Structures are given as structure tokens and as C-alpha cells.
A and B are shown apart, each in its own frame.
Chain A
């Protein structure tokens, strides 16, 4: 179970059917922060493709940071509320409506019984997060309610949302109707060409200097083979000496963001639902803070890579964490 934080302004109690799915959209999944510590039985992480937008959705509602939210990819989701509660919307750029009336993203909204909530379709930024006060109340499997369809784990019976699904929520008796938002200057920008910082590592020394230089100085494009397991990119061929070595390499653990380069020389950035072990050479891993820039985007977007050291990456993580903690939420009313 996701737990709600203890906020003195809020009283939440028993679980009820909070929302009914009228239309599930392209790919809509319940996600918490992910399933960790289970690689030993072959389970992947799952969790949000855009961690920052996920974090903001929960934080706007003062939820537990690991509370379960909806991740709606591309769009098309339509829900009907069965309760009076508060929701928060963050992430992609699909139009978002309550009772057919467009309302702003990156903020909270009050909804009441019978309200119809709907996403249009993304133009450029594809991952949307809808959090509800207290989080969606689904049973954790292996410590998490993150949905991994390939593993049939998490969410409602390990599946994407379907029409008719009932999404359990806490009954929210909060009478405080103050709304909160993230200021525009604190919202991420998902447009334009993308530069992904990369911590070089793993089999990087099996790529020649020329191949590494080609990797770091060329334009790659997101192909149409992109899903929650990985984003396959197209660009100049990058070769590793392991591609032609007889017997290849032994399978080994794959971390989040690892860039695998199979024999065709086209890199694949491995993501939340990746397999936990594999035997293709890897040149390094994309810095986690840059992953949403990739996962928000559609096929055709331009990608560039830039090398950073593990120490620089770690320093940037600390700074980003501090900035996030310091960022003020704005009160609307």
C-alpha cells in the first residue's frame, strides 16, 4: 500500500473507488517510484519514465514521494471521478480538461463526484502524470505498485489501465480548496534538440577512439522502436571490438540508462522496464537527470551525447536534489 503523508490540514480515511476509467488512452499505467532490490529474481524496476514530473505531481499534493500515480503516455485517457478530492497534473503537453473545459497543467485541481477528466494527445512531450490526494491505493507486489506489463506485476493485475477499471483512492475529507502550482520557470522544457550527458563506462575501452569520438560528436535520432524497455536510436554505426570477437561477452547486469550497442552499431538506451542482464557491449550510461528529456520525446527528435565523469554526475545529482527541495510551490488562491 502507498501511504499518505500526515498533513495536519488534511484528513484522509478509508479506501473507496475513486475514479472509473472511461477510456484508457494509448498506454496508461499506475506507477510509484519503482521496484528496487529485486534484480536477484530477475525483476526490473518499472517506475516513471519522467521522474521529475512524477515527483512534482506527488509533491503538489503533499503526498508521500513514493505514492502511486497515473502515467499516461501520449494521451487519450478519460476518467470519471466518484469522489470529491484533489488531483495534480504534470509532465507532457496534451491538453487537459475537466468537464470539457481546458485547465492548466503543473498544478492541483479540485474535482467532485461525476466530474469528467480527460487528456487530449501530446504534440511534443508525451508522458503525463496524474496524482490524486493520498495516492492510488493498489496492492504492492514485491514492494512496489509500479506496473511492468512484461512481468505482469504491479498496478491492477499487472496490466495497463482498461475501460471500466475502478481506481481505488482514499476518501478525502479535506475542505481546504487552496490550489498549488509549479511556477513556469521551474517546469522542465522538453522542446528542441536533446543533449544527453553520458557517464562513459562498462566496455567503453572496446570502442576505438574514433568510434567514441563519432558517438560523442554525431547526431542520432529517436527511431520508432522506443518503449519502456529502451529507446533505439539511429545514427552513424558505432563499433566495438566485441562485435567481431568469437563468443562475444558474458551476460552481465544492466543499470538504468545503460547504452547498449549491438552488432548493427545503433545504440539503445535501456530504461525502466529493461531486462536486468544482457550480453551486448555498452559504452556507458545516460545521466538519470537527462533521461526525461529522451523519454518525453517522439521518434524523429535529435539526440546528441556529451561525456561527463561519474564524479561530475554525482555532484550534479546533489545540486539538483538541493534545488528541488528549495523550489517553492506557489499558492493559487
Chain B
């Protein structure tokens, strides 16, 4: 564990420098423990792959006290987290995906670069379960990892101006679902009809950081029946 200053009222705690379920589990555990210990003194926090950004109320507590609490809380924690890693306790959230050239314009590109057939790419993408490592970029955008190396693909050199809601993409070894229409440079392979961010419902997202996600291939008919819409790609 390493603590760095981020800003006048923010400290960032690093638990490692790689994408790994054990490290992510430590970040999650630390977030829970520190939320309980600091309560309202925390204004906001960001859990990511291997770090926890803690933003505190600078008129109510100072960095020395926050650091002291971090050390007190997390020395015991690491043991707990490594016992409790990832796969053992997390629920698996299944998300349907309509994979096709119509809904996944980069399936062909990945096929050319990898030498795999489109069916193989689809099979590989849904063969693993993925951990939610971070949520950010846009409301409800969950970074999932890690995809099989054979289908890992660098971001598009020219990002799209418009990616439709529900688009499932791959960037390097990450995969994600665009919760809403936005610009984006990920390689698109399908569409998920499940709303990933809904301000009007509770919970607002079907997943949270630390969850395990599995994709399940569905047909066009099933996609339509689930309310899926093939939006604009630009």
C-alpha cells in the first residue's frame, strides 16, 4: 500500500500497479472499511483498478488524521481481503448481447487482426466472466476485465463521433457497454438491451464495482423482445 497526495483535500491509496482480482478486492475492502471509519468526513471517493481516491472535508479533518485512520484500518484489512478474493463471494450478473455484424461493426476488424472467425470471437467473449474494475468515463460506464488475449484490440485510431446506447466494446483487454449515446473509440462487437444506467430506477445500475459479469449471446428476436434498439453508428 502506498499513499500519495492527490490534491488539497484528497489522498490516493495505491494497492498495486496491475489489473488483478486480488488487488481490486483490496480496493473494495478498503473503500468499505474507510467509509465506515470516516463517514461524513468523506465527500466523495473513486475506486478504480488498483487505487482508491479519498476526497475529504478539508474544514473538518486534515491529511494527518486521514493518513492515521488509513493506516489503522488497512493494516488489518489486507489479510481479510486476500482471503476474500474476487471469485469466491461475488454475485454473477448475466447480461444479454446481440452479437452480429449489424450490431458489432468491428467484428470483422478483430477477425482480420486475430485470424479468428466471427463465431470464435463471440464464443471467446462470452466464455469468461469479467470483474467490474471501475465505473467512470460517463454515468454507468463499467470497465470490465480482462478479455482473452486473442480478442484484445487497441482502440480505434479515429474514435467514432457517435456510439449507440448499449454498444459492447473492447479496448485492449477491457470490455464495456456504452450506457448511452456518446463518442467513443472502442471496438464494437454487439449490443446489450439492458439499461446500464437509469436515473429513474433503483438501483441505477445492474452492476457495481467488484461484481462479476458474464455475457450471453442472444438472437435478433430475443434482442427485439427485450426492447433492444439498433441505434446510429457514426
Residues of A within 8 A of B (CB): 36-43, 45, 141-142, 150-153, 199-202, 250-258, 275-278, 282, 284-285, 287-288, 310-311, 313-314, 317-318, 321
Expressed in whole angstroms, the Cα–Cα distance for A275 and B63 within the complex equals 24
Expressed in whole angstroms, the Cα–Cα distance for A284 and B55 within the complex equals 14
Tell me whether B9 is interfacial, beta carbon within 8 Å: yes
B4 partner, pick from A42, A202, A257, A258, beta carbons under 8 A: A202
Residues of B within 8 A of A (CB): 4-10, 12, 17-19, 43-53, 55, 58-59, 62-63, 134-141, 143, 180, 197, 199, 204-205, 208-209
| A255 and B135 contacting across the interface, CB-CB below 8 Å | no
A201 partner, pick from B6, B18, B62, beta carbons under 8 A: B6
Expressed in whole angstroms, the Cα–Cα distance for A40 and B9 within the complex equals 18
| B5 and A199 contacting across the interface, CB-CB below 8 Å | yes
What are the residues of chain B within 8 A of A151 when measuring CB–CB? 138-139
| A275 and B138 contacting across the interface, CB-CB below 8 Å | yes
Secondary structure of the B side of the interface?
A: loop
What are the residues of chain B within 8 A of A41 when measuring CB–CB? 135, 139-140, 197, 204-205
| A285 and B6 contacting across the interface, CB-CB below 8 Å | yes
Q: Nearest Cβ in chain B — how far from A245, in angstroms?
A: 11
What are the residues of chain A within 8 A of B45 when measuring CB–CB? 39-40, 253
If A285-B8, A287-B8, A314-B58 touch, whether A255 touches B199 (CB-CB below 8 Å) is no
Expressed in whole angstroms, the Cα–Cα distance for A142 and B53 within the complex equals 21
Expressed in whole angstroms, the Cα–Cα distance for A250 and B12 within the complex equals 13
| A252 and B139 contacting across the interface, CB-CB below 8 Å | no
What are the residues of chain A within 8 A of B6 when measuring CB–CB? 201-202, 253, 255, 258, 282, 285
Expressed in whole angstroms, the Cα–Cα distance for A141 and B197 within the complex equals 14
Q: What are 11 A-B residue pairs whose CB atoms fall within 8 Å in the complex?
A: A39-B46, A41-B135, A42-B141, A45-B44, A153-B139, A253-B52, A253-B136, A255-B53, A276-B136, A311-B62, A317-B58
Name 20 extra pairs, CB < 8 A, besides A202-B5, A278-B136: A39-B46, A40-B45, A41-B204, A42-B137, A42-B138, A42-B197, A141-B199, A201-B4, A202-B12, A252-B49, A253-B45, A254-B46, A257-B7, A276-B137, A284-B7, A310-B8, A313-B8, A314-B8, A314-B58, A317-B58
Chain A's closest residue to B138 (CB) is: A42
CB-based closest 8 A-B pairs: A253-B46, A253-B53, A285-B7, A277-B136, A201-B5, A313-B8, A255-B10, A255-B7
